[in-house]
Amino acid sequence: MTTILYKHRFEIPKWENRTSFHLNLLLDPLFRLPAYTGDLLVEKGVPTPAKIPTNEVHQEILFDFDKAELKPTDIEKLEDFFKNGFNGKTIESVEIVGYADDIGSDAYNLVLSEKRAKAIGVLLKNKGIRVDKIYIEGKGENNDGRPKWQNRKVDVVVKLAK
């Protein structure tokens, strides 16, 4: 059985809560679309959309087996990332999501992934990022077909003000 991880943010319009709000997610493999290539759309006569500049910057930090402590090299990596990575733009929010490999129980891996995310959150708080801008989550096991050492990680997503 193949596990497919689906993550996407949706912009929800202003809603008066008088009627139900519907959001259709097609998760059945029957509805998979081919990978996007600009040439494919041009051949069918559909104009290629302009690239929309993103206001998100991503950083991945890997951890050792069964560890939630940051290595000195990772601390330096994060400090450089936050010091030099935003071209003077204001940080709107920081999303920190921790993961573990699939060795061990689900409960243990959930706690470990949370500890990893919290370690980075505490570092960022100590470096001056406001607590109300930091979102921390532990997802537990990540078994996406990558080697186990690549699943022992924390993803840091920084949203910048426009």
Which CATH number is 148's domain given? 3.30.1330.60
Range of the domain at 110: 56-160
95-150 pLDDT, tens digit per residue, is: 999 999 888 888 999 999 999 999 999 998 988 888 888 999 998 898 878 888 88
In a domain, 16, yes or no: no
Q: Which residues pair with residue 156 across a beta bridge?
A: 59, 96
∠ CA 146-76-140, nearest 5°, is 35
- Is this structure's pTM higher than 0.95? no
- Count of domains forming the chain: 1
In a domain, 41, yes or no: no
Phi first, then psi: give them for residue 138, nearest 5 degrees: -110, 125
Q: How confident is the model at residue 31 (pLDDT cuts 50, 70, 90)?
A: very low
Distance separating alpha carbons of residues 58 and 94, to the nearest angstrom: 10
Distance separating alpha carbons of residues 99 and 116, to the nearest angstrom: 8
Name which residue leads in pLDDT, 16 or 33.
16
Distance separating alpha carbons of residues 17 and 143, to the nearest angstrom: 38
